[in-house]
Amino acid sequence: MHRTHLPLRLWIITAFLVMSNKCSVSAVTLMRSLGVTYKTAWYVLHRIRKAMKCRCIYRPHCHSCTDILPHFAVDCPRAVPGKI
């Protein structure tokens, strides 16, 4: 979001759509939902996904946020539901 000309509202709506869906959101879906070009939707989606990568100092072994959030543990085979 640093030095972007896109409105903050677009970033917040995109983050909400990405985090509220169980399956991944495509750039085409975002393009239609937000009323922006495909290039803009792809850019925002990839920046949000990059920001969601886990960089926690307390659990350096985790590779994604699915390790921390067990109810979204679809992508990570190491995550045990119910245990954080």
pLDDT digits (tens, 9 = 90+) for 12-35: 999 999 889 888 889 999 999 999
Whole-number Å distance between alpha carbons of 75 and 64 = 9
Q: Are 81 and 71 in contact (CB under 8 A)?
A: yes
Confidence of residue 82 (pLDDT cuts 50, 70, 90): low
How do residues 26-72 score in pLDDT, each as one tens digit?
999 999 999 999 999 999 999 998 888 766 555 555 555 444 444 44
User: Quick one: 1 and 30 in the same domain?
Assistant: yes
User: Quick one: 35 and 58 in the same domain?
Assistant: no
Task: For the beta carbon of residue 71, count every other beta carbon within 10 angstroms.
Answer: 10
User: Quick one: 44 and 62 in the same domain?
Assistant: no
Whole-number Å distance between alpha carbons of 41 and 47 = 10
Which residues span the domain enclosing 46?
A: 1-52
User: Quick one: 3 and 37 in the same domain?
Assistant: yes
User: Quick one: 9 and 37 in the same domain?
Assistant: yes
Q: How far is CA 57 from CA 25, 36, 53, 60, in A?
A: 28, 36, 13, 6
Number of domains in the chain: 2
